[in-house]
């Protein structure tokens, strides 16, 4: 593979980002859509709490929220995305040129885009070129090794396992460790992302070579995590009478 690291961003930018990755934890501060925590103030507070707890950085959806977090945490490492529901494409993560422009102006250090090979309004190559043109770090949210290879060749400095399991069919329960191991053995900065819900899973990801690990649901989606406990206790309650009689 041709080494394109010098084309991804200037060396000083990448070195600066690398020095900020210590624990390797990135917290995705994206509450459940339309839930009680889905407001700008709560997202800012979630980001502040994550950083206070030791996260190296945060992943924030929406240019306005990126700007709000940047205002309250000027030194924070921020990965910015925009999510859209398009009529003619399944791509949701930063699919448009205006998304990249807005995130760059809002103060994101890293801008992530869906890098899958699905029908889309703007080619991945163009989006990554724009990100690098704005002097930002490009991150490719991938679903497979082929996505990663194309995105890296296009100039993405960070490769994420973000969309593995989310491009069709049932969503797996466990992270995609096989893909993570493959990518970590090929690219210098691989973000483990997607269903990393426990410290043990994150530790395993780092052991497999992940540059960093993004955790979202288990930290910032209270409704979902509460549902895990509620479901477990409900099943336990249903089993209790039978267990009592044995």
H, E, C per residue of 122-134? CCHHHHHHHHHHC
pTM here is: 0.93
Residues forming a β-bridge with 59: 28, 79
Closest by CA position to 30, among listed 193, 177, 232, 167: 193
- CB atoms < 10 A from the CB of 49, how many? 15
Instruction: Give the whole-angstrom CA distance, residue 80 versus residue 181.
Output: 25
DSSP 172: P
Write down the pLDDT at residue 12: 86
**CA dist list (Å): 182 to 18, 109, 219, 243:** 21, 26, 27, 45
Q: What are the mean pLDDT values of the chain's consecutive 10-residue runs (246 residues total)?
A: 47 91 98 98 98 98 98 98 98 98 98 98 98 96 98 97 97 98 98 98 98 98 97 76 45
Token reading at 89: 């494409």
Predicted local confidence at residue 94, as pLDDT: 98
Class in CATH terms, 5-221: alpha beta
pLDDT reported for residue 11: 79
**Domain boundaries, given as residue ranges, for the chain:** 5-221
The pLDDT of residue 236 = 66
């Amino acid at each position: 593979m041709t080494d394109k690291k010098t084309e991804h961003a200037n060396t000083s930018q990448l070195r600066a980002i690398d020095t900020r990755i210590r624990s390797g934890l990135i917290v995705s501060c994206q509450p459940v859509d339309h839930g009680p925590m889905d407001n700008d103030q709560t997202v800012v507070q979630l980001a502040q709490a994550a950083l206070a707890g030791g996260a190296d950085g945060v992943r924030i959806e929406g240019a306005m929220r990126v700007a709000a977090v940047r205002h309250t945490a000027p030194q924070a490492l921020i990965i910015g995305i925009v999510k859209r529901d398009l009529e003619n494409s399944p791509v949701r993560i930063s699919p448009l040129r205006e998304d990249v422009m807005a995130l760059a102006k809002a103060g994101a250090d890293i801008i992530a885009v869906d890098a899958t090979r699905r029908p889309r309004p703007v080619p991945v190559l163009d989006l990554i070129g724009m990100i690098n043109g704005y002097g930002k770090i490009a991150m490719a949210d991938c679903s497979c090794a082929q996505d990663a290879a194309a995105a890296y060749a296009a100039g993405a400095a960070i490769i994420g396992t973000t969309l593995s399991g989310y491009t069709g069919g049932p969503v797996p329960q466990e992270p995609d460790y096989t893909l993570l191991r493959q990518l970590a053995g090929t690219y210098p900065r691989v973000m483990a992302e997607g269903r990393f819900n426990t410290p043990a899973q994150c530790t395993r990801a780092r052991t497999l070579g992940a540059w960093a690990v993004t955790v979202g649901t288990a930290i910032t989606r209270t409704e979902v995590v509460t549902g895990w406990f509620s479901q477990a206790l409900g099943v336990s309650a249903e089993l209790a009478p039978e267990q009592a009689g044995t």
